[in-house]
Amino acid sequence: MAVDAVHEGAAALQAAEATIYDVIVLDRDLPVLHGDDVCRTLAGSGPRILMLTAAAEVDDRVDGLELGADDYLGKPFAFAELIARVRALSRRASSAPPVLRRGDLVVDLARHRAERGSRQLLLTRKEFGILEMLLVADGALVSAEQLLEHVWGADIDPFSNIVSVTLTRLRRKLGDPPLIETVIGKGYRM
DSSP string of 29-46, one letter each residue = S-SSS-HHHHHHHHTTSS
The pTM is what? Answer: 0.54
The residues that bridge with 119 in the sheet, in sequence order, are 116
Q: How far is it between the farthest Cα atoms of the chain?
A: 59
CA 176 to CA 59: how far, in whole Å? 59
- Fold adopted by 99-189: Arc Repressor Mutant, subunit A (1.10.10)
Could you state, in order of their start, the residue ranges of all structural domains in the chain?
9-93, 99-189
pLDDT of 96 above 70: no
Res. 93: pLDDT tops 70: no
pLDDT tens digits for range 150-159? 888 766 776 7
Q: Cis link prior to 177 (omega < 30° from 0)? A: yes
CB count within 10 Å of CB 138 equals 11
**pLDDT digits 0-9 by tens, 15-72:** 888 887 889 999 988 989 999 999 999 887 778 999 998 887 888 888 888 888 889 9
9-93 CATH fold: Rossmann fold (3.40.50)
Dihedrals phi, psi of 29, to nearest 5 degrees = -95, 70
Rounded to 5 degrees, φ, ψ at 106 are: -125, 125
SS3 108: strand
Give the N- to C-terminal CA distance of the chain in Å, as an integer. 23
CA-nearest of 74, 64, 14 to 43 is: 64
Residue 52 CB-half CA count within 13 A: 16
